[in-house]
Amino acid sequence: MRRVGLFKNEAEQKENFVTLQEKGYVRFENLPLETKDKKLINVEFVANTYQVNGTTVIQCNIREITERVRAEGKVKWLASFPEQDPSPILEMEKDAGISYINPVALKLFPEIDDLKMSHPYVNESEKFFRDLNGTDKSVERREIQIDGNWYLQDIKYTSPDHIRIYGHDITELTGTP
């Protein structure tokens, strides 16, 4: 393991070698590895011990996972958009109801988990599934008032079984207190 240069810290190398001897294997995900040309790549490292004619042999497998790590990073980054959006966002499944609620929607409508499909923010979703299915139209808009605030909803038809509701607080624009 030392020859590969994965573990620059000698104490860490010794600890990993002891683990390998005790358990018969060690595995590390997403280790940084510097190539001969000084390029940094991500690798998965697996070492196993086994016996050959009474001698313990260590087999090390190193697999480059740089592209996978980049792809996972991009997925996390993209997933952060609805989580950090300052407006309420929900996703609905036709038969299962609410399948996603972003943190802002939960904060604005804490009772939505209890009321589910009867909550005013989503109570007409069946109509939107019906009205948007089989048409060229993929977005429907409506204004609703909940607890004194007005919301403009963009209801996005994503598939026959899914809609996504993007809300925008337009209370100030309506001129109502």
Give the number of domains in the chain.
2
pLDDT computed for residue 93 by the predictor: 93
Asked if 57 and 102 sit in the same domain, the reply is: no
Q: Residue range 148-168: average pLDDT? A: 93
Q: Is residue 80 part of a domain?
A: no
> According to the model, what pLDDT value does residue 1 have?
46
CATH of the domain at 53: 3.30.450.20
Residue 78 included in any domain? no
3-state secondary structure the chain: CCCCCCCCCHHHHHHHHHHHHHHCEEEEEEEEEECCCCCEEEEEEEEEEEEECCEEEEEEEEEECHHHHHHHHHHHHHHHHHHHCCCCEEEEECCCEEEEECHHHHHHCCCHHHHHHHCCCCCCHHHHHHHHCCCCCCEEEEEEEECCEEEEEEEEEEECCEEEEEEEECHHHHCCC
Is 76 within the bounds of a domain?
Answer: no
Together in a domain, 109 and 144: yes
Query: Structural domain of residue 22, as residue ranges?
Result: 10-70
- pLDDT tens, residue by residue, 80-119: 999 999 999 999 998 888 999 999 999 999 999 888 888 9
Give the residue-averaged pLDDT of 158-167: 92
On whether residue 79 sits in a domain, the answer given is: no
